[in-house]
Amino acid sequence: MTTAAHGGALGGARAAAEELGSQTKGASWKPVEEIAWLRSKNGAVRGGVADGGRRWSASSTPARRSWRCLAPRTDGLRWRVFARWRDRTGVPLADLAGPRAGDRITFGDTQVQPRMVITSPEWSGIEAEGRRYAPFTTNVEREKPWHTLSGRQHFYLDHQWMLELGEGLPVFRPPLHHRAIFGDQGAQDGSGRLELTLRYLTPHSKWSIHSEYQDNLHMLTLFSRRWDAVGSSREDAEALEIKDNDWSRRNNRNGVVACRATVSHRIPQGTA
């Protein structure tokens, strides 16, 4: 991509953001002040089709600065979205982020130490001093309408295609018992390698999504070993002759992963 084309595309994105604004989950805003701040930090393009637009370079720092600035959980100016919802719904919400209206968490801040994010209008949890995120607290405690067409929780979907699939109401459908159907694969290649077919679950990763500080005491007392790990039940680990913290290889149709084994009684047999 040439420099001119690069600047033109970004200049168009800048103009669209300033003129049309941003939108998510029924809330919209125009990040005019944020873009002005970015222009003061990243500089502006001079000349060409993107004249006056904020400059993005190949360096990762301006890009990270832009993401932090435009993200509602790190930009205190986003309390204005709560104010708009207050006007639309009649529910007082602006105070959720109002006390931190002047805060802006930069990439440099996160390099110094972990920072508490700001209660975001696009999420449903309240985060404040002494309080951790829990979903739907703004909906339940503050009576903010749910992010559905009716503003209420939906359990019944009368769409024809949902009814045809038998999914009009949420019902429990137990997972296939693969081991009962297909049995354990075993070592079929003559290598003597032990194998088991397991259900593979990928829950929310507390140590690699919302935090990259993997080696602090809080993370190390959870499930983390400072590197990627897959949890195994005691029964499956014993059948595979795997001990806690051993290296193991897991594969499915998507590929192969080599990782440490975390043997725990919290993992049900037949599950990884």
Please state which CATH class domain 184-263 belongs to. Answer: mainly beta
Measured CA to CA, the distance from residue 106 to residue 119 in angstroms comes to 16
Q: How many other CB atoms are found less than 10 A from the CB of residue 237? A: 22
Residue 145 has pLDDT above 80, yes or no: yes
Measured CA to CA, the distance from residue 133 to residue 82 in angstroms comes to 17
Question: Which amino acid, one-letter code, is at 262?
Answer: T
Residue 233 has pLDDT above 90, yes or no: yes
Cβ-contact 252, 195 below 8 angstroms = no
Residue 2 has pLDDT above 50, yes or no: no
Phi, psi of 15 (to 5 degrees): -65, -40
Per-residue confidence (pLDDT) for residue 7, from 0 to 100: 39
The per-residue pLDDT for range 163-220, each reduced to its tens digit, is: 998 889 988 888 777 767 777 665 555 667 778 888 888 776 655 665 566 666 776 6
Residue with the bigger pLDDT between 159 and 227: it is 159
CA dihedral 71, 73, 74, 80 (to 10 degrees): 80
Q: Which of 16-25, 64-73, 149-158 has the highest mean pLDDT?
A: 149-158
- Confidence band, pLDDT 50/70/90 cuts, at residue 137: very high
What is the mean pLDDT of the segment spanning 133-145? 89
**Which residue ranges make up each domain of the chain?**
3-141, 184-263
Residue with the bigger pLDDT between 73 and 227: it is 73
Residue with the bigger pLDDT between 47 and 252: it is 252
Per-residue confidence (pLDDT) for residue 224, from 0 to 100: 56
The per-residue pLDDT for range 125-134, each reduced to its tens digit, is: 888 878 888 8
Measured CA to CA, the distance from residue 165 to residue 157 in angstroms comes to 11
Residue 254 has pLDDT above 50, yes or no: yes
Per-residue confidence (pLDDT) for residue 270, from 0 to 100: 87
The per-residue pLDDT for range 42-86, each reduced to its tens digit, is: 777 776 665 656 555 545 566 666 666 777 777 777 777 888 788
For the chain, percent of residues with pLDDT exceeding 90: 8
Residue 3 has pLDDT above 50, yes or no: no
